[in-house]
Amino acid sequence: MHRKYSNELCPEMDGQEVRVAGWVEDVRKLGSIAFIILRDREGRLQVTAIKKEMGKERFTELITLPRESVVEIKGKLQKSAEARMGFEILPTEFKVLSKAEVPLPLGVVDKVNAELDTRLDNRFIDLRKDEVRAIFKVKSLVCAGIRNYLLGNGFVEVHTPKIVFAGAEGGATLFEVEYFGRKAFLAQSPQLYKQTLMATGLDRIFEIAPAFRAEPSDTVRHLSEFISLDVELAYINTSEDVMQVLENLVAATIEYVVKNGEKELKLLNCEVRVPKVPFRKIPHRECLEILKSMGWHGGVDIDTEGEKLLGEYIMQNYGEEFLFITEFPTELKRGTFYAMRKDENPELTGYFDLDYRGQELTSGGQREHRYEKLKTQMLENNLKLEAFEPYLKAFRYGMPPHGGFGLGVDRFVQKMLNLTNIREAVLFPRDRLRVTP
């Protein structure tokens, strides 16, 4: 007999023999009868144990099981007006698959909210809560939505190495690894590889994979390991072409989540709006003016506070949640050695950030594909060209113009579901203080 999930059973199956399994969430004892709430992936079931039917010994064994023990139960389904689901299971046989220790390190049905740290220390139990699991079902839908859109638009999914010999996003956040007596690093992003692939004929690619950054400060939006969606496409004219792919991708992904994640979004009490394309674009210099008029006291770099204010600005004025900050000044992108500067005004790049609800979600733009210019920009950054030779080589034998972006998947989920901390959107988060579980 096949095991059934709770949502596969219904009162109309009255009288049928069924097999179910799950965690003992709660036991309510009323003398010679007891109600056991059994929880599985899909929901809850009521198992009604009757002493007279089961015999004293088996009855006692079942109803004294500690909470969160795992049992398998065979029994008869019986229609019942009193049971929450309209039916109950009368056990004929049961098997204790795993007995839980007492006390639990974290409650599953407790009313009091545990601290995030306690929850993360006991993540496997934390994930037994429906609303916590729902976050990861949404995350799975986000990835499915991304793949659905990109594969449908001629992109090829690739996998690039995570053990690398050169960084791309600045030395400060590199994790060093000892690699057979040599010094290697964990990849901060697939930047150099996805650009290299533009010289191959795989001219529209994407990757969904971990990226590693030794972030020096503790924030609610940075982790030392995160999932990055990286997209790169060749034969573009300007950064506009990249923004178009990005906005369509983001809108299609949110639509996919809304369509397929109705139950999860309801459980999480989240109203997710499918955005209209094209997204609003405001050049970086104009953003600075808007911010000044709002009393912001930053410099040229739009900080967290600035992003938040811009988010409020576009929400209040246009009712929108997405904003492209375009034409980043070269001054701010100098460290991004691969960013193309405008030929007509080298003080500007076509680089953009996409902000979602007042927080950076994506950075991207057109790359410098002209070998000499790229080399000059690298030297300006004091990079040792020899270390980048495998990358540079790809620019000497036919490299089409190209561009792309990196989007933080965990951050996307965080913003979509209004989670205060990015750690809530990661099963087992990694930060400065946490490498376990």
Annotation marks residue 159 as catalytic = no
Annotation marks residue 32 as catalytic = no
213 binds ligand ATP (CB under 6 A): yes
Q: Which of 355, 410, 415, 423 binds ligand ATP (CB under 6 A)?
A: 410
Which one of the spans 4-12, 246-254, 308-316, 360-368 is the region binding Mg ion (CB under 5 A)?
360-368
* Contact between 338 and 191 (Cβ < 8 Å): yes
CB of 299 to Mg ion, least distance (A): 17
Q: Which of 137, 333, 411, 423 binds ligand ATP (CB under 6 A)?
A: 411
Reference 402, options 249, 254, 233, 273; nearest CA is 233
Pairing relation of β-strands 280-283 and 322-326?
parallel
339 binds ligand ATP (CB under 6 A): no
Q: Which of 363, 416, 425, 429 binds ligand ATP (CB under 6 A)?
A: 363
CB of 229 to ligand ATP, least distance (A): 9
CB of 236 or CB of 407, closer to Mg ion? 407
Which of Mg ion, ligand ATP, none does residue 223 bind (CB under 5 to 8 Å by kind)? Answer: ligand ATP
CB of 197 or CB of 361, closer to ligand ATP? 361
* Contact between 254 and 242 (Cβ < 8 Å): no
CB of 215 or CB of 320, closer to ligand ATP? 215
CB of 335 to Mg ion, least distance (A): 11
Q: Which of 363, 366, 377, 414 binds Mg ion (CB under 5 A)?
A: 363
169 binds ligand ATP (CB under 6 A): yes
Residues that bind Mg ion (CB under 5 A): 363
Residues that bind ligand ATP (CB under 6 A): 169, 213, 215, 222-223, 226, 228, 360-363, 406-408, 410-411, 422
